[in-house]
């Protein structure tokens, strides 16, 4: 283990590193950003190792905003982002005369989760707006249980946080508990039987669903609930909270990262994406 890795672990950063070669001609690809994407990209990188054993790939989370900031300051080659880049971030690249591009390698669905014993299976987008914004503070009207609603979500630099806020057109209640990642949210919901949280669907479809219930979502216009775990409905674009997963990079770095991007879009890459609870992009696009 390198001193750099030891220091990162010392300060509590999650960092997965594939050490493939220590020679001077080893290519290094540094990927930082979205916690929604981090586990998936780790699996892709593990498999990529078998194809190209002369590449050193390091992967860490921290949120979409951190990933894009790392791309700006030169400490990442790829920024994982579960949201589109903002106008302010674009201006930072422009001011530094850095040309960037993006690659959509998968689609994700946001799962809203509660404890498995809470008597609710589906929820409307309008009710979700009321709960997440703090307008509605009790489960009474939705579950017949007079329990306070505790919201477990992500920090403001999270792409998932930003996506939900924009999708519903709300501001989150200031009382929402800001968690550092999907795993922490799931643990909080297991412990708090009146809690409501949101995570990437891949996290609950991949062996983490014990004690957790994933809510189906419907809109005021369409009363038929759709689950984020229903791949057929995702493929048709019918789930309200589905989104593309981006990887941003500097155009000048494309040749360096190209082998990994191509691998993500290969048949094996798409198999890994699907097996991890996400949705390969081309498989979705074929249905549009």
pLDDT score, position 97: 96
Residue 27: predicted pLDDT: 82
pLDDT tens profile 201-244? 888 876 678 899 999 999 999 899 999 999 889 888 899 999 99
Could you give the CA distance from residue 120 to residue 47 in angstroms, rounded to a whole number? 39
DSSP of 22-84, one letter per residue?
-STT-EEEEEEE-HHHHHHHHHHHHHHHHH-TTEEEEEEEE-HHHHHHHHHHTS-SEEEESSP
Say what the pLDDT of residue 288 is. 30
CATH architecture of 109-235: 3-Layer(aba) Sandwich (3.40)
Question: In this structure, what token pair is assigned to residue 249?
Answer: 């990079």
Which tokens belong to 43?
């699996």
The answer to whether the beta carbons of residues 149 and 172 sit under 8 Å apart is no
pLDDT at site 282? 61
> Which of 196, 186, 215, 203 shows the shortest CA–CA distance to 133?
196
Q: Any idea where the domains of the chain sit in the sequence? A: 3-107+244-285, 109-235
What span, in angstroms and rounded, lies between the C-alpha atoms of 208 and 14? 19
- Is CATH 3.40.190.10 the classification given to domain 3-107+244-285? yes
> What b/e sequence results for 106-117 when a residue is b if at least 16 CB atoms lie within 10 Å of its CB, and e otherwise?
bbbbbbbbbbee
Q: Which pTM was predicted?
A: 0.76
What are 124's two structure tokens? 């409307």
Fold identical between 3-107+244-285 and 109-235? yes
Cα 92 to Cα 25: distance, rounded to the nearest angstrom? 32
Which stretches of the chain score pLDDT less than 70? 1-26, 206-207, 282-288
CA gap 246, 248 in Å, rounded: 6
């Amino acid at each position: 283990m390198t001193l750099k890795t030891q220091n990162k672990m010392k300060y509590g950063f999650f960092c997965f590193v594939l050490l493939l070669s220590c020679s001077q001609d080893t290519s290094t690809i540094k990927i930082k950003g979205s916690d929604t994407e981090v586990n998936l990209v780790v699996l892709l990188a593990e498999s990529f190792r078998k194809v190209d054993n002369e590449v050193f790939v390091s992967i860490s989370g921290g949120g979409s905003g951190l990933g894009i900031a790392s791309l700006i300051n030169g400490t990442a080659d790829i920024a994982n982002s579960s949201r589109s880049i903002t106008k302010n971030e674009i201006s930072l690249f422009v001011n530094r005369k850095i040309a960037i591009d993006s690659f959509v390698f998968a689609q994700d669905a946001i799962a809203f989760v509660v404890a498995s014993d809470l008597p609710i299976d589906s929820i409307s987008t309008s009710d979700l707006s009321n709960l997440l914004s703090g307008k509605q503070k009790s489960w009474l009207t939705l579950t017949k249980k007079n329990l306070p609603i505790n919201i477990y979500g992500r920090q403001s630099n999270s792409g998932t946080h930003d996506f939900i806020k924009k999708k519903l057109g709300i501001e989150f209640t200031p009382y929402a508990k800001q968690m550092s990642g999907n795993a922490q949210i799931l643990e909080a919901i297991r412990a708090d039987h009146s809690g409501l949280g949101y995570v990437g669907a891949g996290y609950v479809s991949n062996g983490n669903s014990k004690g957790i219930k994933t809510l189906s979502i419907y809109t005021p216009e369409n009363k038929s609930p759709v689950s984020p775990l229903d791949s057929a409905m995702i493929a048709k674009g019918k789930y309200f909270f589905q989104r593309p997963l981006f990887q941003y990079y500097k155009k000048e770095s494309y040749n360096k990262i190209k082998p990994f991007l191509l691998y993500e879009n290969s048949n094996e890459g798409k198999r890994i994406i699907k097996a991890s609870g996400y949705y390969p992009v081309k498989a979705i696009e074929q249905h549009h």
